Amino acid sequence: MKSLKAQLHPISEPSFGLDLLEKSFPIDSNSSFKQKLTEIRLFPLQSTSIDILQINLGKMCNQVCKHCHVDAGPDRKEIMVRETMEYCLDVIKTHSIKTIDLTGGAPEMNPDFRWFVESIRAINPLATIIVRCNLTIILANPKYNDLPDFFEENRVEVVSSLPYFTAMKTDSQRGDGVFDKSIRALQLLNKQGYGVPGSGLILNLVYNPSGAFLPGSQEGLEIEFKKKLKEKFQIQFNSLFAITNIPISRFLEYLIRSDNYESYMEKLIENFNPAAAQGVMCRTTISVGWDGYLYDCDFNQMLELKVDSKDSQHISEFNYENLSQREIVVKNHCFGCTAGSGSSCGGTTA
């Protein structure tokens, strides 16, 4: 499967999705995200701090998942260069940011990935370094087989997507054969100590619905995943993060193609939760694009909505004070993070 961009699909243009979300039923001026925030006196939404620097190392990936908001895949060539990583390291050196969250694409496919992780660890021995690993990359090529060793050496936390504990649902979202490879990779990570109680090596899984519905209770899903993965495959992990699919990019294309767009948006709006809005991740995060530009979150990054901080839109001009007091750029796709129990890269927020 090709990326939307390679297909020259109109949804690969951020303006297409933004226009649709701003103008189309069921959203009008009375039910817009801004209006909802205004009603609960949260507009404009303000940043409260910068606890997380989420860095997208590129859109290249060995998988082509049907819901991917990055539209990542083997045909995407955009990757972060070492010069941009050095700007990130300057920021990490100068400011005490608690969590460095590396994402992609498959971040491990960036040729400077290992150098970058080692450099972050050398600068800040105490920071939480997260790698969003798609699991199959560990088996994709012999040069990646030692990633579990590398992760352990650098005390990296691994966060991996596994939409379900059966092949049918996982493969329908992430591609044929992905489930079996993911299980083998999880077993290798467990062998390394990841996800094993007492090891100190953290392995968290991400659940997101394989279709046009919202995730149920994160707690209930975690219990079910732990039970089934242990029974069937002797796999252990620490926590399950339930994440809502955001209506942009490939998931938006699926919603439109399957005639689920209106009902899905209605569901997000109906389930707007003020507590989840208070706790949205963007208030404590800066997202860095592969080219160094700064965004409020990975979704705004894909929609090319840069931070509203005129003097500090690129990592090379990072101004902590201004960025930590910025107004978050919100649009109607933000309903995805405020529905039900809320959604963030670390799971529910309310």
Partner 1 sequence: MKTYYNPDDLKKFGSITNLQKSMGDKFFSYYGEVFKEGALTAREKSLIALAVAHAIQCPYCIDAYTTDTMEKGCDEEQMMEAVHVAAAIRGGASLVHSTQMINKIKEISM
* Interaction of residue 336 with partner 1, rule CB under 8 A: no
* Interaction of residue 237 with partner 1, rule CB under 8 A: no
CA atoms within 13 A on the CB side of 122: 8
Options 68-76, 81-89, 98-106, 160-168: segment touching partner 1 (CB under 8 A) = 160-168
d(CA 293, CA 247) in angstroms, rounded, equals 22
Compute the C-alpha angle 3/88/69, nearest 5°.
20
For residues 133-152, one letter each, b for 16 or more C-beta atoms within 10 angstroms of the residue's C-beta and e for the rest, the string is bbbbbbbbeeebeebbebbb
In the bound complex, what is the minimum distance in angstroms from residue 201's beta carbon to partner 1?
26
d(CA 180, CA 136) in angstroms, rounded, equals 9
**Interface pick for partner 1 out of 34, 121, 155, 169 (rule CB under 8 A):** 169
Which of residues 246 and 297 has its CB atom nearest to partner 1 in the complex?
A: 246
Q: Which helix (H) or strand (E) holds 301?
A: helix 298-302
Residue with tokens 């997260």: 130
In the bound complex, what is the minimum distance in angstroms from residue 216's beta carbon to partner 1?
4
**Interface pick for partner 1 out of 144, 164, 254, 318 (rule CB under 8 A):** 164
Beta-bridge partners for 339: 272
* Interaction of residue 264 with partner 1, rule CB under 8 A: no
In the bound complex, what is the minimum distance in angstroms from residue 219's beta carbon to partner 1?
9
* Interaction of residue 145 with partner 1, rule CB under 8 A: no
* Interaction of residue 347 with partner 1, rule CB under 8 A: no
Question: What is the β-pairing status of strands 156-161 and 128-132?
Answer: parallel
- With contact defined as beta carbons under 8 Å apart, do 250 and 69 qualify? yes
* Interaction of residue 215 with partner 1, rule CB under 8 A: yes
Options 80-88, 134-142, 188-196, 221-229: segment touching partner 1 (CB under 8 A) = 221-229
Q: Assign 130 to helix, strand or coil.
A: strand
164: Cβ contacts below 8 Å, ≥ 6 apart: 170, 207, 210
Options 74-82, 153-161, 163-171, 282-290: segment touching partner 1 (CB under 8 A) = 163-171
* Interaction of residue 289 with partner 1, rule CB under 8 A: no
* Interaction of residue 247 with partner 1, rule CB under 8 A: no
Which of residues 74 and 211 has its CB atom nearest to partner 1 in the complex?
A: 211
Options 24-32, 151-159, 203-211, 291-299: segment touching partner 1 (CB under 8 A) = 203-211
d(CA 124, CA 113) in angstroms, rounded, equals 17
* Interaction of residue 211 with partner 1, rule CB under 8 A: yes
* Interaction of residue 33 with partner 1, rule CB under 8 A: no
* Interaction of residue 66 with partner 1, rule CB under 8 A: no
Which of residues 148 and 340 has its CB atom nearest to partner 1 in the complex?
A: 340
Strand spans (E) along the chain = 52-56, 99-103, 128-132, 156-161, 203-207, 240-242, 285-288, 294-295
Which of residues 207 and 295 has its CB atom nearest to partner 1 in the complex?
A: 207
Contact residues for partner 1, defined by CB under 8 A: 164, 166, 168-169, 207, 209, 211, 213-217, 220-221, 224-225
